[in-house]
Structure 1
């Protein structure tokens, strides 16, 4: 049995935190696991292991933030000395910055789970590897390739373990009934479903524009957003209210079971301009929903293509990949005016129309989606984490 620390700023929401929750369950089966949080005031996800709250939440005041960072470093390293961990996994940038300078002998895996953070902080990740105990754990092969194009000398210090999913649990939860107030909407529309928080990298303003174009051809199309929080939540809701099809747009808010919405949807959409490894795509595929996703960096191509090299390097139109449809990335800069559309919005709308009008293609992708999702089952990824904690390395 090994002592393992899973470190994060908090577990309020987010893909990294949700993945930390999942990993905690299969690591706890044969190891002693601590969930180390800087702030545990609000926890959105279940976990296995012992909760350790360092009581060092973020402050808005700049001077207070510097004090908080110092407080985190001191409290964290006091814990490291006391607990003498064998392995430490850090989740997201806030935890990376502290865990990178861990004292003691523990092997430290710093996580990189999004292209945006890697693009902005590539040099910082490289500097974190000056500590010989540290490794970078990517959740996407495309992220690893991008990093190593700048720092090929770090090739032995990077590892990829794609995100893990409890396929059986997702399937079980997906068949639960929708709330009555949402069920009627699904019964009266051909539903496009988006599940995410509302941030600039998620690109929901582009989705609203594509939806507006789609409605010209598919009058009974409906758009459902599941999720909450993010700097753009009120802005996106305001944009939706200005749509001439606002009555066909539904905001569900947070759901502890998004899978029942996925199961009930006709198409799952990912309009992101940047990702890492989008969990929601695999979750939707587990529910047997056909996918339309932008070919953003990184993740969608890796999930929807048997081999990433099969698809053209740069898409000029929608592409029928092995397990779903990829489209060109839509504008990265937020723009909330419906009158200002580009070709990429039209292409996304055409891809949606193709799935909603081609039953054979939709059925084909629905069946193949579940087959693909099984490649990311917990049982597969658990073996890779077992390899990491026993320090045998990964190929």
Structure 2
């Protein structure tokens, strides 16, 4: 019998954590024994694994002294090794850089899988201590994985061309999605306090308030949209950096933008997504963002700024990507917001890219053509995210990419 360990940094409602939960439920349905390890477990966690949940610390890194944090970093691989031995783990799957690196250092012999969820060369523009460790691991400890899953072709190409990745163990496997479960949860009633809001025309942002997600671009674009569609609402679901949230609040006040609602975390985001008119992404970089696939599953058009791999996700046929505005079967991809710096901007001056993004939002809201096109191509768009095929592929010996 397969005995699987899923390793993740946190238990928040981010894409990697939702992916881990999807795997957990699917593998258990097949009769496998599954344990889920959170490196950090917090009281605010949304993702839970019942009696199969393990954790290494109940204190976040921000609550540790630097000395304690460094001791913890060096202890994590040993803790994971003990768990693997205790539960006779046959397969481990790590989600994201932190979990990957710790897993690569355990010196254990299970079938070991890592996963890459973003275009790393952009992320590494932030030259902090952890990013230096993660990049060095691409030339050293990633040799210890039987398979390193890239969730898009763009991520794999970036690792090889721009990050000095040194090993022949990369395989492209798209994120799986339990479409039936997404649709089931989307049918649940909204909390009473939110019903009236979603009777209006809602642009929905779902994700962490982080520099990566760059929500200030969406806010500026929505400010332009509001002048044309004054009844439109922007709803942001997710938590994250207080610094990012404070910047958005200042920006909203500066431009006198109304109808923006911060709902914080929601344990079931699908019931909100299903009632939105458009799902909006403004990220500087992504992998294959789960929110796009979830929107496609629910028939909600997407407007996204270009990031490497996004067009690949939103097209039926994978064609050469372009940074120009592109209309796809799932919505519209606009020119990129990323200009070489990963930071909160010093000003809130509206950019040309934000103007184009506002036009794309207006175009999507102003017609049902995008909803109809998505419905026509929905099955083909979702085919590569089939949960059974993807979950099985993670546990199989590597298929070499050509």
TM bin, normalised by shorter chain, reads 0.7 to 0.9
Cα pair 1:4 1:33 within 8 Å, conserved? yes
Q: CA deviation at 1:157?
A: 0.8
* Secondary structure class of the residue paired with 2:26: helix
Residue number among 328, 338, 341 corresponding to 2:335 in the alignment: 328
Q: 1:331 to 1:151 in 2, by over 3 A?
A: closer
* Secondary structure class of the residue paired with 1:282: helix
Equivalent position of 1:300 in the other structure: 310
Structure 1 unmatched runs, 5+: none
Deviations 1:185-225 (A, max 9, x none): 222x3211111110011111001111111122222222111
Q: 1:153 to 1:22 in 2, by over 3 A?
A: closer
TM-score, normalised with respect to structure 1 = 0.88
Equivalent position of 1:314 in the other structure: 323
Residue number among 341, 357, 364 corresponding to 1:355 in the alignment: 364
Equivalent position of 1:383 in the other structure: 392
Q: 1:336 to 1:220 in 2, by over 3 A?
A: farther
Q: Distance in 2 between matches of 1:95 and 1:72?
A: 10
Q: 1:195 to 1:370 in 2, by over 3 A?
A: farther
Equivalent position of 2:353 in the other structure: 344
* Secondary structure class of the residue paired with 1:162: coil
TM-score, normalised with respect to structure 2 = 0.86
Q: CA deviation at 1:307?
A: 3.3
Q: Distance in 2 between matches of 1:109 and 1:124?
A: 15
Equivalent position of 2:113 in the other structure: 109
Structure 2 unmatched runs, 5+: 125-133
- Answering whether residue 176 of structure 2 is matched by residue 164 of structure 1, we say yes
Aligned-pair Cα RMSD in Å: 2.6
- Answering whether residue 14 of structure 2 is matched by residue 11 of structure 1, we say no
Equivalent position of 1:262 in the other structure: 273
- Answering whether residue 102 of structure 2 is matched by residue 98 of structure 1, we say yes
Equivalent position of 2:81 in the other structure: 77
Cα pair 2:120 2:163 within 8 Å, conserved? no
Q: Distance in 1 between matches of 2:219 and 2:165?
A: 43
Q: Distance in 1 between matches of 2:206 and 2:279?
A: 9
Cα pair 1:167 1:374 within 8 Å, conserved? no
Q: CA deviation at 1:118?
A: 7.3
Q: Distance in 1 between matches of 2:326 and 2:42?
A: 44
Equivalent position of 1:51 in the other structure: 53
Cα pair 2:213 2:283 within 8 Å, conserved? yes
* Secondary structure class of the residue paired with 1:268: strand
Cα pair 1:193 1:269 within 8 Å, conserved? yes
Q: 1:354 to 1:151 in 2, by over 3 A?
A: closer
- Answering whether residue 278 of structure 2 is matched by residue 274 of structure 1, we say no
Cα pair 2:174 2:384 within 8 Å, conserved? no
* Secondary structure class of the residue paired with 2:212: helix
Q: CA deviation at 1:55?
A: 3.8
Q: Distance in 2 between matches of 1:116 and 1:149?
A: 11
Q: Distance in 2 between matches of 1:284 and 1:129?
A: 33
Q: How many residues align?
A: 384
Cα pair 2:331 2:364 within 8 Å, conserved? no
Q: Distance in 1 between matches of 2:142 and 2:38?
A: 23
Q: CA deviation at 1:269?
A: 0.7
Cα pair 2:303 2:331 within 8 Å, conserved? yes
- Answering whether residue 126 of structure 2 is matched by residue 126 of structure 1, we say no
